[in-house]
A and B are shown apart, each in its own frame.
Chain A
Amino acid sequence: MQRITTGVPGLDTVLGGGLLRGRSYIIQGSPGAGKTILANQACFHRAAEGDQALFVTLLSESHDTLLQHLSTLDFYEPHHVPQSVYYISALGTLQREGLDGVARLLREETASRKASLLVFDGLLNVRDATGSAPDLKRFLHTVQTQAAFAGCTILMLTSAQLDDQSPEHTVVDGVIELGNMVTGVRTVRRLQVRKFRGGASLEGLHQFQIDQRGVTIFPRLEAQYALPSMEDEASSPEDRAGTGIQDLDAIMGGGGIPRNSATLVFGPSGIGKTTLGLHFLAASQPDEPALHYGFYENPKRLLSKATALGLDLRSQVGKGQLEIMWHPPGERLLDAMGQGLLDAVARRGVKRLFIDGLGAFERAAIHLPRLVEYFTALTSELRARGVTTVATWESRNIVGGSVETPAPELSSIVDNLVYMRFVEWRARMHRLMAVVKVRDSAFDQDLHHFCITKHGLEFVPQKDGADALLSGFAHRSPAAAGEVPSA
């Protein structure tokens, strides 16, 4: 079946390629939900594709007010109106000739303009104008049949909260619902395809936003990438990406992190997780474009930090070898973050990725349980794209007697785990690191003492059993009578 794209970012993905030609769809949502913008966006996209679009209203809002609003949005191209996007009102026809007249008007106008897309705004008024459900169904059937015959796709907009048993829903080929959910003190816009005949669509609630660009939909990442978009790039466990820290490479089994894998570095704030990530980025080779996807330091501060650690990221950025994407604090949409990340990876063919702060994803998640499927899909997709990922997770305890792990599911989703913590020893804080897991590989399971110097993250040669420090309540082990080496 032939599809026509809507051009609304994300919507065609959700619909499995677009709307079906000659079929009719309802777009429903409360006033302000974004129906009119979405429909107009589709009209201007069809016009850009060389088609004709017809926008018919039964509403009292005047077209010039509508056009004034639209003209502030990026997709609005004035030269398409009235040549390719045409606005007419059917209210007068409805008043004089009833629904039969409206149906006739739609047929005539669709044919004379050779429209491939017809938007009919004001389905609620049709409901008000019909005396009965059979009348309403007859009108919809008529319009639908005419459209199918003309090969014109129809979007019918309504602010009514129609349910699945309504005459409207039973007749049309698809129903797209736009909603606005209140969660805590914020609201999140969500789109759901409630019905879609003749094709598979991505199920569930997809977040969307309305801004200068119009409507942008972010398909649920775990639905879109339930299966990775491509097959995994084959790599053997011996194929490694150096972390830029020789000692760390050694304890991970030699040579660094297995390529096309996801590594989680977890530990408290200030321990050196970002430093480890900066080493990893600085070690990127010309054939491995690198990306820093962070939430804490802005690019300027990050580069200064790298310089202070003896890492030359500035020239990496200058050469285009490294991109720094910084996301200042704010309310974010989880799927927008994932999509933005995958887009940035695709744009430059990124092979080395450092995500500083998976916690920001957790905070953006409205529904926490989905994070497991979300991270599973994200890491699988990154693996498939041949990306070696290092991500950080901040644990809450600075020091303490218990070993705090991130969510158990997260630990099992990633391939490799590196654990960092502080210990107190003789009125000083010391840093310890241990590799907890490496995919398909043997690794050094010892605890290692490290420090942060002007050369970055450096291991401190062990003279006594650092394992004694793991409890967080440091004590001299019987086997080691010497001092803990100072940094």
Chain B
Amino acid sequence: MAKLVLVVDDEVLIAELTGEVLADAGYRVLLAHDGREALEILEREKPDAIITDYMMPRLDGLGLALAVSAAPQLRHLPVVLTSAVAGDVLERYPGVFARFLQKPFDLTDIVATISGLLREE
């Protein structure tokens, strides 16, 4: 069965577009619009990777990634951070994110990043 990717972004259009590009590349996709909604989805779904924005309402991308890495059943999940302004979060939290993509990103980069990560697995 096709691999499942959870896309988390409060900007609806970006979430949808990212989802469509991944679907075109053969992935199954779930969408969430903030970190809290993503965690709710993770309670019932078992995605193979997460792509998350940084600045979001309720729970940001860092909060989501920290929650994922703290949960034994989720910590194997690669989390890709996408942001226009990640600041020093990558340095302060080494190992929390599998990859970082600077926004605005090229949609082919998203597919390449995900396929690369899932192939590594």
Interface positions of A (Cβ within 8 A of B):
60, 62-65, 67-68, 78-79, 81-83, 86-93, 95-96, 105, 108-109
Give residues of chain B (41-68) contacting chain A, Cβ–Cβ below 8 Å: 54-58, 60
Q: How far is the CA of A109 from the CA of B35 in the complex (A)?
A: 13
Q: How far is the CA of A108 from the CA of B85 in the complex (A)?
A: 23
Instruction: Known A82-B54, A109-B57; judge A91-B85 contact (CB<8 A).
Output: no
| Chain A hits for B2, CB < 8 A | none
A91 close to B55 (CB less than 8 A): no
Chain B's nearest CB lies how many Å from the CB of A298?
Answer: 43
Among the listed B11, B33, B54, B104, which residue makes an inter-chain contact with A68, where contact means beta carbons less than 8 Å apart? B104
Select from chain B the residue with minimum beta-carbon distance to A78.
B85
17 additional A-B residue pairs with CB within 8 Å, beyond A62-B14, A88-B55, A92-B15: A62-B13, A65-B104, A67-B84, A67-B85, A78-B87, A81-B55, A81-B85, A81-B87, A82-B55, A82-B85, A83-B87, A86-B55, A89-B10, A91-B11, A91-B12, A92-B12, A93-B57
| Chain B hits for A79, CB < 8 A | 87
B12 close to A108 (CB less than 8 A): no
13 CB < 8 A contacts A-B: A62-B13, A62-B14, A63-B84, A68-B84, A79-B87, A82-B54, A82-B85, A86-B55, A88-B10, A89-B10, A91-B12, A93-B33, A108-B57
Instruction: Known A68-B104, A81-B87, A83-B87; judge A95-B56 contact (CB<8 A).
Output: no
Give the number of residue pairs across the A-B interface with Cβ within 8 Å. 62
Q: How far is the CA of A95 from the CA of B11 in the complex (A)?
A: 12
Q: How far is the CA of A34 from the CA of B62 in the complex (A)?
A: 32
| Chain B hits for A93, CB < 8 A | 33, 57
| Chain A hits for B15, CB < 8 A | 92
Q: Which 8 A-B pairs have the closest CB atoms?
A: A92-B33, A64-B84, A64-B103, A81-B85, A89-B10, A89-B11, A67-B84, A64-B104
Select from chain A the residue with minimum beta-carbon distance to B15.
A92
Interface size, B (range): 10 to 19
B11 close to A62 (CB less than 8 A): yes
Select from chain B the residue with minimum beta-carbon distance to A67.
B84
A88 close to B57 (CB less than 8 A): yes
Select from chain B the residue with minimum beta-carbon distance to A94.
B12
Q: How far is the CA of A60 from the CA of B12 in the complex (A)?
A: 8
Q: How far is the CA of A81 from the CA of B54 in the complex (A)?
A: 11
Instruction: Known A60-B13, A62-B13, A68-B84; judge A90-B104 contact (CB<8 A).
Output: no
Chain A's nearest CB lies how many Å from the CB of B16?
Answer: 10
| Chain A hits for B12, CB < 8 A | 89, 91-92, 95
Q: How far is the CA of A83 from the CA of B10 in the complex (A)?
A: 18
Q: How far is the CA of A148 from the CA of B35 in the complex (A)?
A: 28
Q: How far is the CA of A95 from the CA of B10 in the complex (A)?
A: 12
| Chain B hits for A90, CB < 8 A | 10, 57
Select from chain B the residue with minimum beta-carbon distance to A105.
B57
Select from chain A the residue with minimum beta-carbon distance to B16.
A92
Select from chain A the residue with minimum beta-carbon distance to B89.
A82
Chain A's nearest CB lies how many Å from the CB of B2?
Answer: 25
| Chain A hits for B104, CB < 8 A | 62, 64-65, 68
Select from chain B the residue with minimum beta-carbon distance to A88.
B57
Among the listed A67, A78, A92, A108, which residue makes an inter-chain contact with B10, where contact means beta carbons less than 8 Å apart? A92
